[in-house]
A and B are shown apart, each in its own frame.
Chain A
Amino acid sequence: MAERLLTVRDLSVRYGKVEAVYGVSLSVERGSIVSVIGPNGAGKSTLLNALMGVLPSRGSVEFCGQDLAKIEVEQRVARGLCLVPETRQLFAQMSVADNLELGAFIRYRRGDKAIRQSLENVYQLFPRLKERHGQLAGSLSGGERQMLALGRALMSQPTLLMLDEPSLGLAPLIVKEILKNISELRSTGVSILLIEQNARAALQISDYGYVLENGAVAMEGASRELAGNPRVIESYLGFGG
């Protein structure tokens, strides 16, 4: 059995008096892609934000064998956790190159000398970003922004990359390209926790999947099995009867 990278036990998140996620347990093994699918408002984004420490939560989150309770967002980044949120959170008034460079902020603090090299690698992965390196991030198209968000995340050399709806609002062709990029990332040693409304695509590129409904895990299993499960097909892969 492969090494457990992320282990979440009984995680609950509250928004004020409202519980948005309750009792969720899941795990990600090193080197795998895990997807979380489910309807809008099921708590998928809330889950990722809680794992990142952006939202306070109860329950335990263990990453690389260490408990993440009381660990701030920035320190989670330093430990190799990285979130690309649904809203992307780029620095719109700064250049593409600056955005990417800032992605490596924690490595810079550590005195990492290979940042230039990483920048070249990202440019290789997304040649479009190289063409636009001097442009302001705010002037990019939706697909380019998504590439920049991914690129910026990769600059931190994460151990676990958490992607929230990477295909959101993109034309089908670009979605295909982005998803291809994501499945290629695995070969670079990054593990990925993926949230997608595009359930079919998510199950296609992932190894394992969870179905989140009303804030709780309704089903889980190997992606291939989930893709063949009649209930999943009915709810997420087709309208059925």
Chain B
Amino acid sequence: MMRRGGLILFLALVAAVPLFPAFYLTMGSYIGLYSMAALGLVLLTGVAGLTSFGQAAFMGLGAYTTAVLTTKLACSPWLTLLIALALTLAVACLLGAITLRMGGHYLPLATISWGISLYFLFGTIPALGGSSGITDIKPLNLFGLELRGEGFYYYLIWAVCLASLWVTGNLLDSREGRAIRALKGGVSMPEAFGAGGLRLKNIVFVYSALLACLAGWLYAHMQRFVNPSPFGLNQGIEFLFMITIGGSFSVWGAIIGATVITLLKTVLQGILPTLISHTGNYEIIVFGVIIVAVLQCMRGGIWELIERFLPPKADKPIGQASELPARVQPPRGAPLLRVEEVRKEFGGLVAVKNVSFQVAAGEIVGLIGPNGAGKSTMFNLISGELPRTSGAVLLAGEAISGLKPAQIARRGLSRTFQHVKLMPGMSVLENVMLGAYLRTDDGVFAAGLRLNRASDARVAAEAAHQLRRVGLADSIYAQAGNLSLGQQRIVEIARALCADPLLLLLDEPAAGLRFQEKQELAKLLNELRDQGLSVLIVEHDMEFLMNLVDRIVVMEFGQKLAEGLPQEIRANPEVLEAYLGGI
């Protein structure tokens, strides 16, 4: 209730600003525009773990596109909006395509350069009016009616800003949004469930650029005048400061930060020059100090402080929904996974030497070996994390070697991680829902406009079903990071099950578990096998495997040492020697 109350208060405040003197109206409009650009940055920086200094440049691109086209070619502003967005899309796609494949710090460097270049271009190309800019931009019009007045633009800007907020919030709470939120922990987890990391990063970058472009377009028609200075690199940096102060992990951080920085700047620009008795942009000193202090003392920004006083969000109830379509599972005993003469070399080092084995439908196979035997490498070769040097891996008769993890996931392989990869701040349910990424196909647009409700409800119902199946029905709404390691491992299994796999691949599921937890895990896996699930477990703990698996494959020094029933392996002298070492 308190959250809703806060929201109503906020909306009332936004609506009431025009009742105050005109100065506040102008400030309010600026805050709305900056909030939009900052909102894109929240998504990019706080959520996806990337960053850009180019928001101001994209804003400038939007503003200048409409300024030039409406004044020089007399285009309709509505047409220029589309053109500006298309132009931004093209530039952002290009920058993203070039930089996003490399380490995270290349995007900011590229956007710094692009921001500077564009700023200089605005200032030097004569057709863009040089440093004095372009004047007499037409106001917006609707059915031949010119829309003027500061109040009108204020409400328009805030309507668009709040709509962006709503769309962004919706997007984050969707299939793609869950995958985007997973990016911060590295791309290997979302990719294991079919969500291509590079594609997601591009989506986020383009989305944030489009928001900035939209703000720029509004800016040009509100001001009816553009010049280069508001679109320089310093403004791009200030957007980053906004989300740092406001809080980069929440959409509300954008609005708080835009408000604080804009007001602070106005106040400081009034005070400091008289204090110092020189004119100049001395406020940047204060900004610099504040930002360093915020980063050192409260990295979550102001929103984090506010959040502390708010009651936790209400849990979304899971309603009845029709089941998601499921795969046809192969009959018990049919060959499912075939590993044929797989070899992996790192430089000159042979980590896996022509290993072959099979997993049949409905059985649990254990892949064991001492540390450094190459079983983790084998795991990564099957899941597609590493490319093989030679050999083949077939899943249900189809070659999966050479495919990317996301493609392999699509073909029915689902996995867990040795070092648990959950999103600690998200609920258990949301974590498990990510597993069903490939089972629905709502895109960004559908998600933003909330057209994905029906299918998202089906995913939630499926996730809840899987959580009940693994015995975690009570923890559905718990924060994943608050569970014990044993429970987190089981959440990972539920997430993998949510993908409706043909084969479940478990990477050292017993490592770090206590005795009790191991027994519970074994019991769960036994039940799952009885329900027809096929599992390949890579594990070090012999004791854990012995009473659980149908067959065991032993590796040592990259080679297959033995294969057979648990009791055969137990009695095999070579295995004893390898495992226990002899001197």
Which residues of A line the B interface, CB within 8 A?
A: 15-18, 20, 39-41, 43, 141-142, 165, 167-172, 175-176, 179, 197-201, 204, 213-215, 235-239
A17-B483, A20-B512, A165-B371 are contacts. A204–B580 as well, Cβ < 8 Å? no
6 further A-B pairs in the complex, CB-CB below 8 A; given A43-B512, A165-B371, A175-B583: A20-B512, A41-B510, A41-B513, A169-B371, A171-B557, A172-B582
Interface residues on B, range: 20 to 34
B576 CB contacts on chain A under 8 angstroms? 238-239
Q: How far is the CA of A213 from the CA of B488 in the complex (A)?
A: 20
Top 7 closest pairs, chain A to chain B, by CB: A169-B372, A41-B511, A198-B581, A40-B540, A18-B485, A41-B512, A214-B514
CB <8 Å contact, A40 and B484: no
Checking B373, B508, B583 against A200 with a beta-carbon cut-off of 8 angstroms, the contacting residue is B583
B543 within 8 A of A: yes
A16-B424, A17-B483 are contacts. A41–B540 as well, Cβ < 8 Å? yes
Checking B373, B513, B581 against A172 with a beta-carbon cut-off of 8 angstroms, the contacting residue is B581
CB <8 Å contact, B581 and A175: yes
A20 CB contacts on chain B under 8 angstroms? 512
Closest to B570 in A: A239
B484 CB contacts on chain A under 8 angstroms? 17-18
Checking A142, A169, A200, A215 against B580 with a beta-carbon cut-off of 8 angstroms, the contacting residue is A200
Q: How far is the CA of A17 from the CA of B425 in the complex (A)?
A: 13
CB <8 Å contact, B371 and A40: yes
Q: How far is the CA of A16 from the CA of B423 in the complex (A)?
A: 13
CB <8 Å contact, A201 and B581: yes
A200-B580, A239-B576 are contacts. A17–B511 as well, Cβ < 8 Å? no
Q: How far is the CA of A237 from the CA of B577 in the complex (A)?
A: 10
In residues 526-552 of chain B, which contact A (Cβ within 8 Å)? Answer: 540-543
CB <8 Å contact, A176 and B514: no
B373 CB contacts on chain A under 8 angstroms? 169
CB <8 Å contact, A200 and B581: yes
Closest to B575 in A: A239
Closest to A235 in B: B543
Closest to B347 in A: A139
B513 CB contacts on chain A under 8 angstroms? 41, 214
CB <8 Å contact, A39 and B581: no
A215 CB contacts on chain B under 8 angstroms? 514
B481 within 8 A of A: yes
CB <8 Å contact, A176 and B371: no
Q: How far is the CA of A87 from the CA of B451 in the complex (A)?
A: 49
Shortest C-beta distance, B194 to chain A (Å), equals 27
B124 CB contacts on chain A under 8 angstroms? none
CB <8 Å contact, A168 and B581: no
Closest to A213 in B: B515
Shortest C-beta distance, B376 to chain A (Å), equals 11
B372 CB contacts on chain A under 8 angstroms? 142, 168-170
Checking B349, B371, B515, B540 against A214 with a beta-carbon cut-off of 8 angstroms, the contacting residue is B515
Closest to A170 in B: B372
Q: How far is the CA of A197 from the CA of B370 in the complex (A)?
A: 8
Q: How far is the CA of A141 from the CA of B349 in the complex (A)?
A: 8
B349 CB contacts on chain A under 8 angstroms? 141
B482 within 8 A of A: yes
Which residues of B line the A interface, CB within 8 A?
A: 349, 370-373, 424, 481-485, 488, 508, 510-515, 540-543, 557, 570, 576, 580-583
A200 CB contacts on chain B under 8 angstroms? 580-583
B543 CB contacts on chain A under 8 angstroms? 39, 235
Shortest C-beta distance, B569 to chain A (Å), equals 9
Checking A16, A204, A239 against B583 with a beta-carbon cut-off of 8 angstroms, the contacting residue is A204
Q: List 25 A-B contacts (CB under 8 A).
A: A16-B424, A16-B481, A17-B481, A17-B482, A17-B483, A18-B488, A40-B371, A40-B511, A40-B540, A41-B508, A41-B510, A41-B513, A41-B541, A142-B372, A167-B581, A169-B371, A171-B557, A198-B580, A200-B581, A200-B582, A204-B583, A238-B576, A239-B542, A239-B570, A239-B576
A176 CB contacts on chain B under 8 angstroms? 583
CB <8 Å contact, A168 and B371: yes
B481 CB contacts on chain A under 8 angstroms? 16-17
Q: How far is the CA of A63 from the CA of B403 in the complex (A)?
A: 52
Q: How far is the CA of A236 from the CA of B576 in the complex (A)?
A: 11
CB <8 Å contact, A238 and B580: yes
B482 CB contacts on chain A under 8 angstroms? 17
Closest to A43 in B: B512
A40 CB contacts on chain B under 8 angstroms? 371, 508, 511, 540-541
Closest to A20 in B: B512
Closest to A169 in B: B372
Q: How far is the CA of A158 from the CA of B515 in the complex (A)?
A: 36
Closest to A239 in B: B570
Closest to B516 in A: A214
Q: How far is the CA of A69 from the CA of B485 in the complex (A)?
A: 27
Shortest C-beta distance, A155 to chain B (Å), equals 25
Closest to B572 in A: A239
Shortest C-beta distance, A142 to chain B (Å), equals 8
Q: How far is the CA of A102 from the CA of B583 in the complex (A)?
A: 33
Q: How far is the CA of A199 from the CA of B543 in the complex (A)?
A: 16
A39 CB contacts on chain B under 8 angstroms? 540-541, 543
B541 CB contacts on chain A under 8 angstroms? 39-41
Shortest C-beta distance, A55 to chain B (Å), equals 14
B580 CB contacts on chain A under 8 angstroms? 198-200, 236-238
Q: How far is the CA of A169 from the CA of B374 in the complex (A)?
A: 9
Closest to A202 in B: B581
A175 CB contacts on chain B under 8 angstroms? 581, 583
Q: How far is the CA of A172 from the CA of B372 in the complex (A)?
A: 13
Shortest C-beta distance, A17 to chain B (Å), equals 6
Shortest C-beta distance, A132 to chain B (Å), equals 15
Q: How far is the CA of A170 from the CA of B583 in the complex (A)?
A: 13
Shortest C-beta distance, A199 to chain B (Å), equals 7
A213 CB contacts on chain B under 8 angstroms? 515
Checking A18, A165, A204 against B512 with a beta-carbon cut-off of 8 angstroms, the contacting residue is A18
- Looking at A20, A168, A197, which has the most chain B CB atoms within 10 Å of its CB? A197
Shortest C-beta distance, B507 to chain A (Å), equals 12
A165 CB contacts on chain B under 8 angstroms? 371
Q: How far is the CA of A214 from the CA of B516 in the complex (A)?
A: 10
B488 CB contacts on chain A under 8 angstroms? 18
